Amino acid sequence: MTDQSRLREPSFRESVDVMFNRAVALMDLSPGLEEKIRVCNATYTVRFGVRLRGAIHTFTGYRSVHSEHMEPVKGGIRYSLSVSQDEVEALAALMTYKCALVEAPFGGSKGGLCIDPRDWEEHELEQITRRFAYELAKRDLINPSQNVPAPDMGTGEREMAWIADQYRRMNTTDINANACVTGKPPHAGGIKGRVEATGRGVQYALQEFFRHPRDVAAAGLSGTLDGKRVIVQGLGNVGYHAAKFLSEEDGARITAIIERDGALVDEDGLDVEAVHRWISTHGGVEGYPEGRHVADGAKVLEHDCDILIPAALEGVINLSNADRIRAPLIIEAANGPVTAGADEILRKKGKVIIPDMYANAGGVTVSYFEWVKNLSHIRFGRMGRRQEESRHLLIVNELERLSRDRDLGWTLSPDFKDRYLKGAGELELVRSGLEDTMRIAYQAMSEMWWSREDVADLRTAAYLVAIERVAASYRAKGL
């Protein structure tokens, strides 16, 4: 990257502001309401000490609340050395718009702790996490009715279980304590399908995109997902599940996987499950026996493919490489992988970008389902599943009786009976709800994209839909 391009490259926070400004310029909002939606309501910075390895270590963490047009506010907690106030506030703003777009009844929030989790043993991480949770919870920055965190980069089910337990210890009479955080393990109040949710949402987003011939044609593509060449950057939780589902269920070909130590390339398609196992054992893709290893993984972003899925870090597509990106369709599985400057270059080149605020909303959607489950104190499917199976069995039995009595010789297709008779359990209901959410949200974006001549891309359409919903909520409150 040249010094000049580095100077012109907007930060992640600036990128969010640029994209917000581009959308509100097309709206008829009063200046006061526009500013109310734009600004971050509050950011709390905490510095706390934990005695570890015979010494006191001081950690810095953040919890930012962007908008309280709906409560509780919702957003993940990330553990990363790159965490800063600017980053957390930008991510909190994205959460506001993301929740509005997919109609999850939350305001936007985000948290972060400046830490590399790989530097600490599990019991040490637990001490750090519990102390961070204590600092936030005593200020109601973790609370089932006010602020509900979730996993993000560097955190997962384990950390959420620690946070939930810490909140419960501090609020022993709160019957809804489990709803203070989402992304918990299923055996600790979580919900089936939460771990896969963001990657599954990416799959549903692409499936819906390919149901819209006009949108597909705008990207210079045709047909369905079957046979499409896909490059995935980052095989963490999101990238792994997206790549796995697209290859195993939709017939897409994963032609490259980019990781920290380079990339694997195979035009015939990589076995996602096998690569994921290799990374889990070896810490990277180097040495994997199949495909070609490319040491400079970033260069593989520029390879020829049909769909590019940046699923790890912010700003991987920027002013230094945007001109060389060949993929006609980019879906932002990560938060902010395309900078505002790169976004402009790609749009001028006719690339279609499915924006992060929509593409990775599967996580917060299923978090919403988990929060509702915790508040209702019953798992989805428990009341109605067997009744549904009984009604289906009535139909099947009646069909078989008719065939027998009339000597019609009807036979049901192999496996039909088992599949039809199986009532929906929690996982099936979660996937159904997620698919419905992703489809309806995409349709709202697409309609905005094509119904207005001044809306040139899906990102602007997404911001317009989301900001209008936030504005409507504020107006209803009398603002």
98 part of the active site: no
Is the separation of the CB atoms in 104 and 365 below 8 Å?
Answer: yes
Geometric angle at alpha carbon 122, from 118 and 123, rounded to 5°: 135
Query: Could you give the 3-state DSSP secondary structure of residue 82?
Result: coil
Q: Which residues partner with 336 through β-bridges?
A: none
**Nearest 10 degrees: CA dihedral of 345, 348, 351, 357?**
60
* Cα(161)–Cα(163) distance, integer angstroms: 5
What is the signed CA dihedral for 471, 474, 478, 479, rounded to 10 degrees? -80
**Residue 166 CA: distances (Å) to CA of 64, 100, 142, 143, 177:** 20, 30, 10, 12, 10
What DSSP assignment string belongs to 119-166?
GS-HHHHHHHHHHHHHHHHTTTSSBTTTEEEEE-TT--HHHHHHHHHH
Is the four-CA dihedral 413, 415, 417, 422 of positive or negative sign?
Answer: negative
Are 193 and 430 contacting, i.e. CB atoms less than 8 angstroms apart? Answer: yes
C-alpha–C-alpha distance, residues 9 and 138, integer Å:
39
Tokens of 200: 């599954």
In 3D space, the residue among 456, 458, 465, 468 whose CA is nearest the CA of residue 101 turns out to be 465
For residue 455, the SS3 value is coil
Catalytic residue among 110, 184, 228, 351: 110
Q: DSSP of 384-434, one letter per residue?
A: THHHHHHHHHHHHHHHHHHHHHTT----PPTTHHHHHH----HHHHHHHHH
User: Residue 319 — φ and ψ, nearest 5°?
Assistant: -60, -25
Q: Is 320 helix (H, G, I), strand (E, B) or coil?
A: coil
Element (H, E) at 38: helix 31-38
Distance from CA of residue 308 to its chain's centroid? 16
The DSSP bridge partners found for residue 63 are: 44, 111
User: Crossing angle for the helix pair 122-137 and 157-170, nearest 10 degrees?
Assistant: 50
Residue type, 7: L
Active site members: 110
